[in-house]
């Protein structure tokens, strides 16, 4: 069979699914995308927030997002990428401190000077680590305690882990936290943090990719969840959706791995295989967004260490990107089985609003214009030690690939990484 005649299905129309489709079309293929949602974009998808088209979940870019920049250039969107110097804050013990610069850390007198110096040395060390293999074997908590001491760890990091990973906190690998610190640390020019955003938001990117791949013959099926994947004896699989059952020579799934496990199970695949997918832990996110008349702080990102609120931090996207009003995200990360996650959106909106009023006592109810809460079940994989060894095979059956954000560990989930992974995968499949 000629390679251009291959029937290829891509499951999932998030950044990775779109990146794979884009790379395949560059090589002359015409894949078919199946997306469960009624819009493309996955975690980057936008919604109508009372007249404002904006991401359900905050998104920003770093200076080291080279693959993201490369694709923007290729698809003619580079002129929409803007950079801005941003500030960080730390809300600690009912007071807002500056954070994220050498000066701010040195002035933070809630911890001994020696701990502050150790904190800065650790941040600097993160920028020089090239080989992370040793960090894959130890937990982030062990590693941070070694650098900062027990008390330093508890004051500076503990709440961030607890309110993101709950009972998984002690499992997270040092390699994962290192890659996050490293990414942000590299997004600095002259020691000043510089972050990027796309004018028009992620929608601009998703729409352009969708247009390009559609023009090159990619068929995009929205609102079409894949219900069954039945591997064929030779290669590829039969895919079942509400549109029926169709044969493909190559199937590339980009949906969260635990969901692949569920689909495999419904398709009658051996439990020895499905369990490798279903055992992977993930943390969900209930992300509240506010439109307000006043800003909360001058920061883009404010870390929070407060007993009253299980919120690791807030993101004031309007201190990065201009809008007509002030826009703030307040994420609640927690396992989807947590009893609080089962509560209604109103619970998270009220709690988040109380938290913002605590951070900025000048804020009052008349400053609130609109609020909304978006949820995602598979918002953050729990990347534990020796993580790569715990992942299922990338190709569990001949011609069936199951990949997601887990596969670029220790890098954290990100558009840049999903794009880069997509390009590499297609290059490996069709050199």
Ligand X SMILES: Cc1cc2nc3c(=O)[nH]c(=O)nc-3n(C[C@H](O)[C@H](O)[C@H](O)COP(=O)(O)OP(=O)(O)OC[C@H]3O[C@@H](n4cnc5c(N)ncnc54)[C@H](O)[C@@H]3O)c2cc1C
Could you list the residues that contact ligand X (CB under 6 A)?
11-17, 34-37, 42-44, 57-60, 225-226, 254-255, 259, 285, 287, 331, 376, 379, 404-405, 413-416, 418
Nearest to 209 by CA among 419, 353, 396, 53: 419
Alpha helices in 166-309 (DSSP H): 174-186, 201-215, 257-266, 271-278
Q: Which is nearer to ligand X, 212 or 285 (CB)?
A: 285
Q: Exposed, middle or buried, 270 (CB in 10 Å: 0-12/13-18/19+)?
A: exposed
- In the bound state with ligand X, the residue whose beta carbon lies nearer, of 137 and 211, is 211
**Calpha distance 359→236 (Å, rounded):** 54
How many Cα atoms occupy the beta-carbon half-sphere of 186 within 13 Å? 15
Whether 73 contacts 81, CB under 8 Å: no
Q: What residues form DSSP beta bridges with 329?
A: 289, 315
Give me the least distance between CB of 38 and ligand X, in Å please: 9
Minimum Å gap between C-beta 333 and ligand X is: 8
**Full 3-state SS string of 37-59:** CCCCCHHHCEEEECCEEEECCCC
Question: 359: which 2 tokens?
Answer: 């951070």
- For ligand X, the closer of residues 57 and 92 by Cβ is 57
| Residue closer to ligand X (CB basis): 43 or 429 | 43
Q: Which is nearer to ligand X, 44 or 115 (CB)?
A: 44
Closest by CA to 57, choosing from 378, 364, 356, is 378
**Shortest Cβ 172–ligand X spacing (Å):** 17
- CB burial of 62-101 (b: ≥16 within 10 Å; e: otherwise) equals bbbbebbbebbeeeebeeebeeeebbbbbbbeeebbbbbb
Tell me the C-alpha distance between 235 and 246, whole Å.
14
Q: Name the minimum Å distance from CB 179 to ligand X.
A: 13
CB of 74 to ligand X, least distance (A): 18
| Residue with Cβ nearer ligand X (16 or 111) | 16
**8 Å CB contact between 411 and 179:** yes
Q: How far is the CB of 301 from ligand X (least distance, A)?
A: 10
Q: How far is the CB of 121 from ligand X (least distance, A)?
A: 27
CB nearer to ligand X: pick between 174 and 255: 255
Q: Which is nearer to ligand X, 57 or 143 (CB)?
A: 57
């Amino acid at each position: 069979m000629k390679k251009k005649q291959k029937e290829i299905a891509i499951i999932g129309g998030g950044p990775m699914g779109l990146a794979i489709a884009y790379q395949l079309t560059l090589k002359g293929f015409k894949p078919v995308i199946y997306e469960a949602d009624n819009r493309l974009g996955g975690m980057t998808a936008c919604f109508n927030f009372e007249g404002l088209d904006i991401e359900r979940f905050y998104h920003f870019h770093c200076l080291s997002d080279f693959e993201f920049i490369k694709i923007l250039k290729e698809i003619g969107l580079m002129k929409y990428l803007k950079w801005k110097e941003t500030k960080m804050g730390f809300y600690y013990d009912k007071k807002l401190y500056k954070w994220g610069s050498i000066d701010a850390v040195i002035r933070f007198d809630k911890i001994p000077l020696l701990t502050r110096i150790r904190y800065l040395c650790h941040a600097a060390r993160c920028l020089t680590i090239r080989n992370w293999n040793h960090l894959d074997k130890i937990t982030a908590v062990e590693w941070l305690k070694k650098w900062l001491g027990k008390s330093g760890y508890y004051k500076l990091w503990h709440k961030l882990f607890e309110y993101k990973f709950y009972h998984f906190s002690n499992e997270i690998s040092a390699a994962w936290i290192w890659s996050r610190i490293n990414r942000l640390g590299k997004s600095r020019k002259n020691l000043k943090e510089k972050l990027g955003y796309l004018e028009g938001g992620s929608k601009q990117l998703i729409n352009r990719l969708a247009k390009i791949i559609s023009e090159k013959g990619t068929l995009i099926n929205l609102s079409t969840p894949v219900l069954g994947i039945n591997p064929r004896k030779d290669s590829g699989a039969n895919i079942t959706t509400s549109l029926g059952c169709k044969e493909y020579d190559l199937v590339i799934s980009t949906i969260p791995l635990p969901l692949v496990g569920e689909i495999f199970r419904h398709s009658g695949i051996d439990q020895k295989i499905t369990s490798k997918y279903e055992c992977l832990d993930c943390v969900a996110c209930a992300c509240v967004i506010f439109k307000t008349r006043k800003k909360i702080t001058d920061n883009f990102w404010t870390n929070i260490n407060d007993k009253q609120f299980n919120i690791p931090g807030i993101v004031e996207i309007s201190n990065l990107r201009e809008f007509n009003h002030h826009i703030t995200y307040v994420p609640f990360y927690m396992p989807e089985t947590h009893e609080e996650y089962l509560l209604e959106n109103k619970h998270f909106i009220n709690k988040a609003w109380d938290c913002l009023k605590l951070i900025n006592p000048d804020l009052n109810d008349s400053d609130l214009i609109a609020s909304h809460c978006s949820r995602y079940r598979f918002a953050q994989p729990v990347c534990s030690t020796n993580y790569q060894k715990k992942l299922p095979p990338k190709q569990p059956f001949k011609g069936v690939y199951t990949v997601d954000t887990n596969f670029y560990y220790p890098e954290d989930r990100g558009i840049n990484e999903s794009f880069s992974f997509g390009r590499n995968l297609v290059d490996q499949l069709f050199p």
